[in-house]
């Protein structure tokens, strides 16, 4: 979560370097409204962006329900609300060129509002309705579910996606991070509107929420709008966020046969909390040298190469730039 917030700050700082008017941006500040942490970054311009974050990500649901949070977040803006049909909801946004959309990830999901400051009073009620009284219309839900299945089928045919999925499942076998936020074709196809609506209701609690606002708005206005939103949401139970690190038990090599013109290879090893560069020498008929980077404690990196892999896992010389200890690595290949 901290890395996500830092990325927002980084984007703003980068913008300030190129747009003189942004160089005088006021510092960010925090407040708590109805038990929900709110982070505010004045923007110095007329654009307002609001992100409501739901913590937990893949730990919120079992493996056989993978994809349910992604469908739920999509349904908020694609299935209408109790006050507007999907078309009415979209038309009201289009009239002022505003956007409300959402995405589900490994650690959290977000629902985002983007509009001009002068249109916020018109768009905010739509945002509140999407979050608090979504409709989950059966016909619209079937449409977005079929769209999700079509995307999953398309991804399954992409080697880059397949090798990354294989690596993640190998690294975090039996853990939450082995799940995909978008799910599998088999899990998504079994979901229905009623079940997904009930799931969304279960995660719609103030203790799971964090709100980030980027915009030039008075503090009193922000407090009132967030209070109006959060008063409609139950407090819920405290959530304990799981954190995983990955350390291979031994060097290993696994492959999956696929009819591809190019061999895809991905290596996974552990990394520290700060960025670290690792140099690896992978033996091959032609020789191959690879430098990779790791951020946080996520599995490292990826290399694609059109070389036929040889038996190498037990003799990989791997050198860490800040440690004299050899690192173990898992190699996977398509």
pLDDT score of 242: 84
| Candidate from 3-12, 162-171, 180-189 with smallest mean pLDDT | 3-12
pLDDT at position 48 over 80:
yes
pLDDT score of 149: 97
With H, G, I as helix, E, B as strand and everything else as coil, classify residue 237.
coil
What's this model's pTM, rounded to 2 decimal places? Answer: 0.76
**Terminal CA-CA length for the chain:** 33
CB-facing half-sphere around the CA of 110: CA atoms within 13 A: 17
Q: What is the mean pLDDT of residues 164-188?
A: 90
pLDDT score of 332: 58
Q: What count of other Cβ atoms lies within 10 Å of the Cβ of residue 279?
A: 13
How many angstroms separate the Cα of 121 from the Cα of each of 46, 126, 219, 266, 294? Answer: 14, 10, 15, 49, 43
Residues 6+ positions from 319 with CB-CB distance below 8 Å? 278, 279, 280, 326
Q: Which residue has the higher pLDDT, 114 or 275?
A: 114
Burial profile 33-69: b = 16 or more Cβ within 10 angstroms, e = fewer: bbebebbbbbbbbeebbbbbbbbbbbbbbeeebbbbb
pLDDT at position 290 over 60:
no
| Candidate from 16-20, 204-208, 226-230, 278-282 with smallest mean pLDDT | 278-282
Order of all β-strands in the sheet with 330-333: 252-255, 330-333, 264-268, 303-304
Q: Which residue has the higher pLDDT, 24 or 94?
A: 94
Alpha carbon distance 250, 166 (integer Å): 18
Among 164-168, 302-306, 321-325, top mean pLDDT goes to 164-168
pLDDT (tens digit per residue) in 200-258: 999 999 999 999 999 999 999 999 999 999 999 999 998 888 877 777 777 878 788 87
Q: What percent of the chain has pLDDT over 90?
A: 56
Q: What is the mean pLDDT of residues 8-21?
A: 46
DSSP alpha helices (H): ranges in the chain?
A: 2-18, 68-78, 86-95, 120-132, 138-156, 159-171, 185-188, 193-203, 219-230
pLDDT score of 186: 95
Q: What is the mean pLDDT of residues 28-43?
A: 96
Residue 141: is it exposed, middle or buried by C-beta count within 10 angstroms (0-12/13-18/19+)?
buried
pLDDT score of 310: 37
Give me the residues paired with residue 39 across strands: 30, 212
Alpha carbon distance 49, 213 (integer Å): 6
pLDDT at position 18 over 70:
no
Q: Which residue has the higher pLDDT, 326 or 200?
A: 200
Give me the residues paired with residue 36 across strands: 33
Tokens for 29, please give them: 């500040």
pLDDT (tens digit per residue) in 119-169: 999 999 999 999 999 999 999 999 999 999 999 999 888 888 888 888 888
- The chain-wide mean pLDDT, for the chain, equals 80
Q: What is the mean pLDDT of residues 254-265?
A: 78
């Amino acid at each position: 979560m901290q890395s996500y917030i830092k990325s927002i700050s980084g984007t703003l700082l980068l913008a300030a370097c190129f747009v003189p008017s942004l160089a005088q941006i006021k510092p960010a500040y925090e407040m708590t409204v109805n038990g929900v942490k709110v982070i505010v970054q004045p923007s110095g311009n007329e654009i307002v962006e609001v992100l409501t974050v739901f913590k937990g990500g893949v730990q919120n649901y079992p493996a056989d329900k993978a994809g349910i949070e992604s469908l739920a977040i999509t349904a908020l803006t694609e299935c209408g609300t109790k006050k507007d049909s999907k078309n009415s909801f979209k038309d009201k946004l289009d009239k002022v060129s505003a956007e409300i959309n959402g995405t589900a990830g490994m650690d959290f999901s977000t629902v985002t509002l983007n509009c001009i400051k002068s249109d916020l009073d018109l768009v905010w009620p739509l945002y509140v309705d999407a979050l608090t009284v979504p409709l989950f219309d059966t016909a619209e839900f079937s449409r977005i579910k079929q769209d999700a299945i079509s995307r999953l089928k398309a991804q399954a045919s992409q080697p880059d996606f397949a090798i990354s999925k294989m690596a993640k499942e190998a690294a975090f076998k039996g853990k939450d991070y082995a799940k995909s936020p978008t799910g599998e074709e088999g899990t998504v196809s079994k979901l229905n509107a009623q079940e997904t609506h009930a799931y969304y209701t279960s995660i719609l609690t103030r203790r799971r929420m964090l709100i980030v606002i980027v915009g030039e708005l008075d503090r009193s206005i922000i407090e009132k709008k967030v209070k109006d939103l959060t008063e409609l949401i139950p407090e819920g139970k405290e959530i304990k966020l799981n954190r995983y690190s990955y350390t291979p038990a031994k060097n290993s090599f696994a492959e999956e046969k696929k009819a591809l013109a190019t061999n895809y290879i991905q290596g996974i090893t552990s990394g520290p909390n700060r960025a670290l560069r690792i140099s690896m020498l992978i033996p091959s008929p032609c020789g191959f040298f690879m430098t990779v980077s790791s951020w946080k404690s996520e599995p490292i990196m990826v290399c694609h190469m059109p070389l036929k892999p040889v038996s190498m896992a037990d003799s990989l010389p791997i050198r860490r730039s800040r440690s004299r200890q050899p690192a173990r690595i898992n190699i996977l290949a398509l």
